[in-house]
Chain A
Amino acid sequence: MITLTDVHKSFGNNHVLRGVTLHVPKGQSMVIIGGSGTGKSVTIKSVLGLVEPDKGQIEVDGRDVHQGDRDAFLARFGMLFQGGALFDSLPVWQNVAFRLLRGALKRPRPEAREIAIEKLRRVGLKPETADLFPAELSGGMQKRVGLARAIAAEPEIIFFDEPTTGLDPIMSGVINELIREIVTEMGATTMTITHDMTSVRTIADRVAMLHDGVIQWEGPIGEMDAADDPYLQQFIHGRAEGPIEAVR
């Protein structure tokens, strides 16, 4: 469904992506792992068109992502941002129903609010949360609201950028379970970026490891532990010794 072919991206002298090639099959949950600064976020932002690659091709369902109707293309996506990226000036329900209040998917306000409250309930938040502002929520609640916003318009493709960063282990577990449940029930194709190996094991159907701007290893989650790639093994076991340089 999503295919990246030889994607390159540099920021000045910093060559972040040096030929990323990756295929995410329809309905699969692909988790991208890798050290900080290896280009995981740049990879998914390239798919969304938030970052323009210098070279290479990115296709969704065989169509170049940079061609065609941009609004229609983006309407197929939902994204959970690392920090939530909730709009401070809007109450929670308007954040969740943002897409349903304007544009092609616009619904009447009462209906959009109903859907927002339903999605909030789906991620374990009470209806009273709907009228709060993002600044009044804890980090975990903000992630849940971000998740509710990502699924509000029932997109075919959902991206999760570091869904558990900054959360305690229990809340991380809750978010991981929620993502897995939602992805399964919606049948969506997903790409998740994470450092958290618990997230990887909960969310992933397939895993890709990004290192030095290329996909170092890619395969089903079931084969990850037995893989003989030394980079992958060092990363998933969190070893300081190995081919990946650890700065002390």
Chain B
Amino acid sequence: MSAVLSPLAALGRTVLAILAYVGRIALFAIEAVSHLLRPPFYWREFGNALIQIGWLSLPVVGMTALFTGGALALQIYDGGARFQAEFAVPSIVAIGMVRELGPVLGGLMVAARVASSIAAEIGTMKVTEQIDALVTLSTHPMKYLTVPRMVAATLAVPVLVGVGDSIGIFGGYLVGVNRLDFNAAAYLKNTVDFLELWDVVSGLIKGAVFGFIVAICGCFFGMNSGRGAQGVGRATKAAVVAASVMILAANYMLTEVFFAA
């Protein structure tokens, strides 16, 4: 009997531990938002975070979108050919990019690049007593470290998603026109005609939520980093894994909400 129950008990413990972590991250997020509503706000740190999270993530998000848009065009052309729907390539590339692939891939790339960097930076600050030093210098670590990054990521990721969407559609256009012999003007017309404002807006909303998740996970795991290089390494890995899983889960939930609306 115990041979049957012990794997279940282990599974139960793991599930409880994951739920406890989600709860702690949620409480951390609530605390961060509550600090946003109370002064001071550190504008200089916000500006730095905006550059680090937004501007410097642009190349990786752009490259990801470009290749994804191109691959998507090829796949849709190949799949569409089975029921004579090759003409749908421009509209499906556009809708697929702005509603789903742009936000999700953009969010995941930012999670890989930014959540790891935030967790490593704050984790190192913790193990080298820089966070304690902040406190002794009358500066709340949540206000100084978390709030500027949280706001910057929430504002920057939708912009990255918007730029990524455009580059992804352009990737599809390049493949469509140069490889699949679409007429350039017809490709663009099909893209614009079938794309609705809500397609774009829903993707940008997803981007904002994903940006918030990335910053909160990076800061949470950094602030709770263990001691030494190993502790910082674990915090970095946990931040990326948690942010990625939460982005995918949030994506499904948001899609359900948008679908129902």
Contacts of B40 in A (CB 8 A): 102-103
In contact, B138 and A71 (Cβ under 8 angstroms): yes
* A102-B40, A103-B40 given; A74·B129 CB < 8 A: no
From 11 to 45 in chain B, residues with beta carbon under 8 angstroms from any chain A beta carbon are 40, 42
In contact, A87 and B139 (Cβ under 8 angstroms): no
Contacts of A104 in B (CB 8 A): 138
Task: Determine if A139 is an interface residue (Cβ-Cβ < 8 Å).
Answer: no
Contacts of A77 in B (CB 8 A): 136
* A102-B40, A102-B42 given; A81·B138 CB < 8 A: no
CA distance A103 to B132 in the complex (A): 17
| Least CB distance, A79 to chain B, in whole angstroms | 5
- By beta carbon, the residue of chain A nearest B136 is A79
Cβ-defined partner of B133 (8 Å) among A75, A81, A89, A102? A81
* A85-B128, A103-B40 given; A74·B136 CB < 8 A: yes
A84-103 contact mask (Cβ, 8 Å, vs B): 1 or 0: 01111100000000110011
* A102-B40, A102-B42, A103-B40 given; A82·B129 CB < 8 A: yes
In contact, A87 and B138 (Cβ under 8 angstroms): no
Task: Determine if A48 is an interface residue (Cβ-Cβ < 8 Å).
Answer: yes
Contacts of B139 in A (CB 8 A): 98, 102-103
In contact, A87 and B130 (Cβ under 8 angstroms): yes
**Interface SS of B by simple majority:** helix
| Least CB distance, A157 to chain B, in whole angstroms | 11
In contact, A98 and B137 (Cβ under 8 angstroms): yes
| Least CB distance, A71 to chain B, in whole angstroms | 5
From 222 to 246 in chain B, residues with beta carbon under 8 angstroms from any chain A beta carbon are none
Contacts of A78 in B (CB 8 A): 136
| Least CB distance, A72 to chain B, in whole angstroms | 8
CA distance A87 to B139 in the complex (A): 13
- By beta carbon, the residue of chain A nearest B42 is A102
* A83-B128, A85-B128, A102-B42 given; A74·B133 CB < 8 A: no
- By beta carbon, the residue of chain B nearest A95 is B133
* A102-B40, A102-B42, A103-B40 given; A45·B137 CB < 8 A: no
- By beta carbon, the residue of chain B nearest A159 is B136
Contacts of B128 in A (CB 8 A): 83, 85
In contact, A81 and B42 (Cβ under 8 angstroms): no
In contact, A50 and B132 (Cβ under 8 angstroms): yes
| Least CB distance, B223 to chain A, in whole angstroms | 14
In contact, A85 and B133 (Cβ under 8 angstroms): yes
In contact, B129 and A81 (Cβ under 8 angstroms): yes
Cβ-defined partner of A74 (8 Å) among B42, B48, B124, B138? B138
A177-204 contact mask (Cβ, 8 Å, vs B): 1 or 0: 0000000000000000000000000000
Task: Determine if B192 is an interface residue (Cβ-Cβ < 8 Å).
Answer: no
Residues of B within 8 A of A (CB): 40, 42, 48, 121, 124-125, 128-130, 132-133, 135-139
Residues of A within 8 A of B (CB): 45, 48-50, 70-71, 74-75, 77-79, 81-83, 85-89, 98-99, 102-104, 149
Sample of 18 A–B contacts (CB below 8 Å) = A49-B135, A70-B138, A74-B135, A77-B136, A79-B133, A81-B132, A81-B133, A82-B129, A85-B130, A85-B132, A87-B130, A89-B48, A98-B137, A99-B137, A102-B40, A102-B42, A103-B40, A103-B138
